[in-house]
Structure 1
Amino acid sequence: MEKQAGAAGDGVGSGPNRKPWGSPTCGPAAAETVDSPTGSHVEWCKQLIAATISSQISGSVPPDIVNRDNKAGRRADFMNLSALRYGAQVRMFQNQVPLLPGETMQTSVKDVMYICPFSGLVNGTLTITDYKLYFTSVERESPFILDVNLGVISRLETISVHNQGENTKGLELVCKDMRSPRFAYKTEENHPDVVEVLAKHAFPLSHSLPLFAFLYKEQFPVDGWKVYDPTAEYRRQGLPNESWTISKINSSYELCDTYPSILVIPTNITDEDIKRVAVFRAKHRIPVLSWIHPESQATIVRCSQPLVGPSDRRCKEDERFLQIIMDANAQSHKLTIFDARQSSVAVTNKAKDGGYESESFYPNVELNFLEIPNIHVMRESLRKMKDVVYPTIDEAHWHSAIDQTHWLEYIRLLLAGAAKIADKLESGKTSVVVHCSDGWDRTAQLTSLAMLMLDSHYRTLRGFQVLMEKEWISFGHKFAARVGHGDENHANSERSPLFVQFIDCVWQMTRQFPAAFEFNELFLITVLDHLYSCLFGTFLYNSEQERSAKEVQIKTVSLWSYINR
């Protein structure tokens, strides 16, 4: 993040406000405003989709030509970034490097040239720690600071440097958050190679080093790991009841190693039947309850695809399982399955032993394909988006350039799919089953967005944290694989911005209905910053089982400890 020190004003060194994440117009106090109906938000979600279709959301308005490297002015009103990131007094007018508790210096190189795409060349000192790259310059009227946490770096590239005097080496940091800062520096025998030091600490797992979260020693008055208690969250929803029970059948992760230890399943199904259903579902991800409507008892159930294969295999236990889910809702004698995939892909998956539920074998079940492309399409879409917005924006061709990325088209598909799910529960009083292929990517996007629309609790600051912990983290979204924490293999086809898409969808909703939410853009940006940073343990690893094995809750700090302090 680039900063002109003078922009921080009198707030330099002070901690953030106690409630920096909210808006004075949001939360319970504003619950009766026109754009903030209480309880279910299905109707305004329909409005949102209509607005999305007509205007492609916010893409119709050319943005200010401002990039992530130079946004200090926009955010200075409610935070000082140095205080936010480092939690310590920072004297920005002196050439000092603020260190986090547990952070150590690795190397420092003088006479480095930052090749700024906005304000030209900046000469200064480049410091590398085991957590960040920190560039400072005092040659300008206002001291200049650029800091990049190493976790956000996707790859390092050497570049050609011309007409920079003795600065003959060039380096580009290609970052996961769309930035690509460039530097030119000298080759000196008494300094370790900058690229080597950066690679070692930007990709620690590839160099047999721990992620920085395991070195970070900041103390907070709040234990963020206590934000999400699955049993308490299910009890808030009125569970268990006569139809649903809170089960520990997966307590040792033997049933499904990517599911949480605590699951909500139907009461009148045996453990043996559940095990047979697990064999019939991809990755053993059986249908489990995510949310129950407080009035109709209609439910959102999530799972993975059935393994029907090319021969249309059947599983009587799976068919009975879905019938029990349907019967648990006395308001409707139907069940709707929302398959997030494109129908053509679902058919193709049958040849790979996957597939979808046949309406012939599942009576009173309606199958809907939401036609959302896969992770590889989304990765390419974000790559195109980066080309459009960084380092400069071509306002004359803004609309066509954005259209060609298809990013907003996919955001619309996700919001429209979530609204269909929410409407089916709220208006149709019908239970739904949501899945994609494995049930940890598009499924998480759709269930969490639908729950955000249906349940006002999830639109509070704490409730949204619970939603992310529950639907994304505990249910096994593969954060390590999708983000690539500490891994230098930037070309890994497993990487994809699914969680970024989800946050973008939430941001679109907060833009249209700001008074319906207890948090704002700053909170969402902070969440994304620390999706990459590896400062906190919250988004590390691929599953609850992996985090338990790595003792993440014991050895690292939760992001919510910082947010809720």
Structure 2
Amino acid sequence: MAKRFMSYLNNYEVEMKEKGKATFKSYISDIIGDEEEERNEEDSESAEPSPSSVAPESEEVEKSASAFFENLMHPSLLPGEQVICQAENTLRFAPYSDRKQGISGNLFVTNFKVTFVTADKSSYAYKETKQRQRNKLIEDNDIPLTCIDTIYQVLSGGKKRALAYGQTVSSTSKYLEIHCKDFRIHVFGFKFVAKDQNKRATNSIVHHSCPTRDDLLFAYEFGLNGKFKENSQRNQFYEQQGWAKELKRLNGEGRWRVADVNLKYHLSTSLPEYFVVPMQLTNADLQKAAGQYIEKHLPTWCYTYKNGASLVRMSQLLPESDFKACEEKMLSAIKQSSGGTVDVEVMDLTQLCPSLMEIRASGQRLMSLCMTDSTKEFYSFDSSWLSRLDSTQWLQHVATCLKVAANATDIILNKTQSVALKEETGYDLSCVISCLVQILLDPEYRTQKGFASLVQREWVVMGHPFQRRSRLVQGADSEQCPLFLMFLDCVWQLLQQFPSRLAMTETYLTSLWDTQQLGVTDTFLFDSAWHRQRFFREGGKLPEVSLPSAWDWHLQFSEEDILLFNNPLYSLFNSYDLENVIASAKGSLKRAGKSASTISYARSLTEFHGDCEGRKDLFKRPNSDVLLPVSTTAARLQLWSQCYLRWCVPAQILGGGRPAGYLQQCLLVEEVICLDHKLKILQEQKKQRERGRDQFPRPQSGLVFSLEAQSQLNSCHLTSSFPFPAEVTAQTQHKLISGPLSLYLHDSLVEYEFANSED
């Protein structure tokens, strides 16, 4: 089979030596050629014009066409973004095409991304379908430099080698494979690229994908030129008031206090300027004890449950410290702040949880399993998928973290005993476990706003080294570790086990992981609060530099895309008393409505209510706000396929998978809203106080099927990775098309409501 590549840059044909021919077609030459052909036909019917009268028009057409396509071939740039180099006539291979299909264009390297631009509009046809989360900061063919994990150079002899960051490449590349942290593979061919551009592009990607200093990251230029203003998403825990507000919400005042002993980071650079400690400890006590702990990471407060038991985190004591005296004093103060009746339970996470080295190795094995670029390789893995997945140990590590968190939750809840999480540094696994414990205990942290606040407090402010763990700058490979991804996976597992108890969806969690890889937000760029301050005031040198928050979703997504972050089951179970709604609706709509669709749904609802009368607890809310018990064995956990397999075309389920269930849940919520709305109207009519529809506005769900979101339903298509379809291009789109989302509304009560909304 011939390899086919369409070129919109040059007017020539090239024969490829491998297995056939590739035809390169130029739109520019076509436009000019057609114009000249038409002009020649007209000239043949009239007197022969002078050369001077034809040449200027021909030149004008050529200039116009060239200018038009030059605009198409230029990448869109963010504030502060600059083009470093480009490679013309680059081939971008379609995934799972065995490098036999693709598109020709220009490859650009900027100080923010690697981007591929082509004048072939058909390759961007899927833009109009809105079939995925459309990020405003990056195009579909863009690769943020901070998202690059490994770069492989394939030489003319077929030899493949990984390129080290900072390495100078002297040989030309036949292919360049870019493996990304979001589990995506991009393959570019340089067969028709000039040698100097070939080397320059390769070296630019290698050099700029992992700079030597953080002030060389694009984030600085973005913050300086973007002119971002402070907003409500700003991290409140950099200030004393943020901690005081949270302490008050949890009734910890009088037993715990906000310490300011670390002002200007004189005590520790791994801790924030403000943190919470037991009331009994003075600043002098803290200064004396800090030197006994690794990186001076003192025991700090995380959370207090309503029974008075608290959660604390700390680093290990230094080997030469007075272990007994120091530890006893700290634990005694924590005990007194927690009621003073039960000793503090110390959980050593270095013994209970996998090490950073084990998690890093497990993450690498998971990426190797999920990142395939050929159908043959995919099916060779598929035949032994479960055993290969088990050998990665990823789900085992996730299960271990859930188990430790569940045990800590049980101790706080049932034993009324405070828990101290101890690890070597105090800012890695303690972030994972402390957040999971608080999510299990407190429904506030299961809301999107509360979850964001929790991550900002326990991860960002308390000093998790995002820059080192994500390897945004050059450093020891041993420091890289996908801890935040493991935490998000743990939360995703809780979402599967308690589908109506968390306000966010898996799309929210996946988008949060993608946001970390962008490298342009204030949230995930630094190693600590001290590091952040140094970047803005010393590294950046200009106080005007400011960056947006990761939680400012409107910077990345449209309002319609953000709707996909909302969990319909959470909305349903927290906004409606379903038991009373269904009981009140029994037979009501069948008597009142004349629509066949309405009668059908009312009859089904009435029959369903009759079948469920023997199960009174079906729609009852749980007695406890705590999420227990938690399944903590790897065999009971699932693979987060939306995050790990969304770019894997052969793994997609057309029209099915978890997104199909999600959309049905969205439809269910809309129907409950419609039903509740109709019941209220009927109740008012019964009281003989009829009012117009405008006086009974239909409540909005904030979900994909809400009235405001109808514009996208006829153009969206469903795969199991929705709203992140596997690489949809002109070459692969036909393999992934399923019915539009509007089909979900067919013959539903919601469709009837939409049809009558203008009456």
**Structure of greater relative contact order (alpha carbons < 8 Å, 6+ residues apart):** 1
Query: What code does the residue aligned with 1:303 have?
Result: M
SS in 2 for 1:551: helix
Cα 1:564–1:513 change in 2 (3 A) is farther
How do 1:431-470 residues align onto structure 2 when only pairs under 5 Å count? Answer: 431-470=418-457
CA distance in 1, matches of 2:445, 2:281: 30
Equivalent pair of 2:72/2:118 in contact (CA under 8 Å): no
CA distance in 1, matches of 2:483, 2:120: 41
Cα 1:467–1:555 change in 2 (3 A) is same
Tell me the alpha carbon deviations over residues 220-271 of structure 1, each in whole angstroms, 9 at most, x when there is no partner.
6762552434335434434652221111111121222100111111112233
CA distance in 2, matches of 1:220, 1:519: 26
Structure 1 residue 160: Cα displacement:
2.5
Q: Which residue of 1 aligns with 2:312?
A: 301
Q: Which residue of 2 aligns with 1:421?
A: 408
Match of 1:252 among 254, 264, 275: 264
Gaps of 5+ in 2: 1-68, 126-139, 159-171, 373-377, 538-542, 556-759
Structure 1 residue 316: Cα displacement:
2.0
Q: Which residue of 2 aligns with 1:267?
A: 279
Equivalent pair of 2:302/2:311 in contact (CA under 8 Å): yes
CA distance in 2, matches of 1:399, 1:518: 31
Tell me the alpha carbon deviations over residues 504-560 of structure 1, each in whole angstroms, 9 at most, x when there is no partner.
111111222232222222221222112122121211121111101112895232334
Match of 1:118 among 96, 115, 120: 96
Query: What code does the residue aligned with 2:201 have?
Result: V
Equivalent pair of 1:136/1:143 in contact (CA under 8 Å): no
Structure 1 residue 161: Cα displacement:
4.2
CA distance in 1, matches of 2:309, 2:145: 45
Match of 1:226 among 209, 221, 234: 234
CA distance in 1, matches of 2:188, 2:490: 34
CA distance in 2, matches of 1:333, 1:208: 49
Query: What code does the residue aligned with 1:530 have?
Result: T
Cα 1:318–1:334 change in 2 (3 A) is closer
1:518 aligns with 2:498: no
Compare 211-220 and 324-333 and name the one that shifted more. 211-220
Equivalent pair of 1:151/1:485 in contact (CA under 8 Å): yes
Equivalent pair of 1:536/1:556 in contact (CA under 8 Å): no
Cα 1:122–1:137 change in 2 (3 A) is farther
CA distance in 2, matches of 1:289, 1:208: 32
Larger Rg: 2
1:172 aligns with 2:177: yes
Equivalent pair of 1:417/1:446 in contact (CA under 8 Å): yes
SS in 1 for 2:468: helix
SS in 2 for 1:303: strand
Cα 1:263–1:387 change in 2 (3 A) is same
Equivalent pair of 1:379/1:497 in contact (CA under 8 Å): yes
Cα 1:554–1:405 change in 2 (3 A) is farther
How do 1:153-552 residues align onto structure 2 when only pairs under 5 Å count? Answer: 153-161=148-156, 169-185=174-190, 186-188=192-194, 191=197, 193-205=200-212, 209-216=216-223, 217-218=225-226, 223=231, 226-229=234-237, 230-238=242-250, 241-293=253-305, 295-308=306-319, 313-330=322-339, 332-342=341-351, 370=352, 372-391=353-372, 392=378, 394-487=381-474, 489=475, 492-551=477-536
TM (norm. structure 1) is 0.71
Q: Which residue of 1 aligns with 2:116?
A: 135
Compare 464-473 and 120-129 and name the one that shifted more. 120-129
Cα 1:172–1:383 change in 2 (3 A) is same
Cα 1:182–1:189 change in 2 (3 A) is closer
Equivalent pair of 1:174/1:180 in contact (CA under 8 Å): yes
CA distance in 1, matches of 2:415, 2:182: 40
CA distance in 2, matches of 1:258, 1:207: 17
Structure 1 residue 116: Cα displacement:
3.6
CA distance in 2, matches of 1:276, 1:406: 42
CA distance in 2, matches of 1:331, 1:178: 49
Equivalent pair of 1:156/1:172 in contact (CA under 8 Å): yes
Structure 1 residue 477: Cα displacement:
0.8
CA distance in 1, matches of 2:553, 2:230: 9
Cα 1:157–1:331 change in 2 (3 A) is same
Higher helix share: 2
SS in 1 for 2:84: strand
Higher strand share: 1
CA distance in 1, matches of 2:313, 2:453: 17
CA distance in 2, matches of 1:485, 1:248: 31
SS in 2 for 1:430: coil
Cα 1:221–1:518 change in 2 (3 A) is farther
SS in 1 for 2:399: helix
CA distance in 2, matches of 1:378, 1:96: 41
Cα 1:108–1:564 change in 2 (3 A) is closer
Compare 277-286 and 234-243 and name the one that shifted more. 234-243
Cα 1:224–1:501 change in 2 (3 A) is farther
CA distance in 1, matches of 2:271, 2:235: 19
How do 1:71-86 residues align onto structure 2 when only pairs under 5 Å count? Answer: none
SS in 2 for 1:559: coil
CA distance in 1, matches of 2:154, 2:431: 39
Structure 1 residue 169: Cα displacement:
2.6
Tell me the alpha carbon deviations over residues 407-439 of structure 1, each in whole angstroms, 9 at most, x when there is no partner.
000000001111111111112111110011111
Query: What code does the residue aligned with 1:335 have?
Result: V
Equivalent pair of 1:200/1:207 in contact (CA under 8 Å): no
Query: What code does the residue aligned with 2:318 have?
Result: L
Cα 1:330–1:188 change in 2 (3 A) is same
Query: What code does the residue aligned with 1:223 have?
Result: N
Gaps of 5+ in 1: 1-90, 343-369
Cα 1:271–1:206 change in 2 (3 A) is closer
Q: Which residue of 2 aligns with 1:10?
A: none
Cα 1:222–1:459 change in 2 (3 A) is farther
Q: Share of identical aligned residues, percent? A: 24
Q: Which residue of 1 aligns with 2:650?
A: none
Q: Which residue of 2 aligns with 1:48?
A: none
Q: Which residue of 2 aligns with 1:97?
A: 75
CA distance in 2, matches of 1:480, 1:386: 20
Query: What code does the residue aligned with 1:278 have?
Result: A
CA distance in 1, matches of 2:413, 2:337: 16
Query: What code does the residue aligned with 1:466 have?
Result: S
Cα 1:328–1:562 change in 2 (3 A) is closer
The RMSD of aligned alpha carbons is 2.8
Query: What code does the residue aligned with 2:459 have?
Result: W
Cα 1:325–1:423 change in 2 (3 A) is same
Equivalent pair of 2:177/2:187 in contact (CA under 8 Å): yes
Structure 1 residue 178: Cα displacement:
2.7
Equivalent pair of 1:205/1:211 in contact (CA under 8 Å): no
CA distance in 2, matches of 1:555, 1:514: 41
Query: What code does the residue aligned with 2:499 have?
Result: P
Equivalent pair of 2:465/2:526 in contact (CA under 8 Å): yes
SS in 2 for 1:156: strand
Query: What code does the residue aligned with 1:124 have?
Result: S
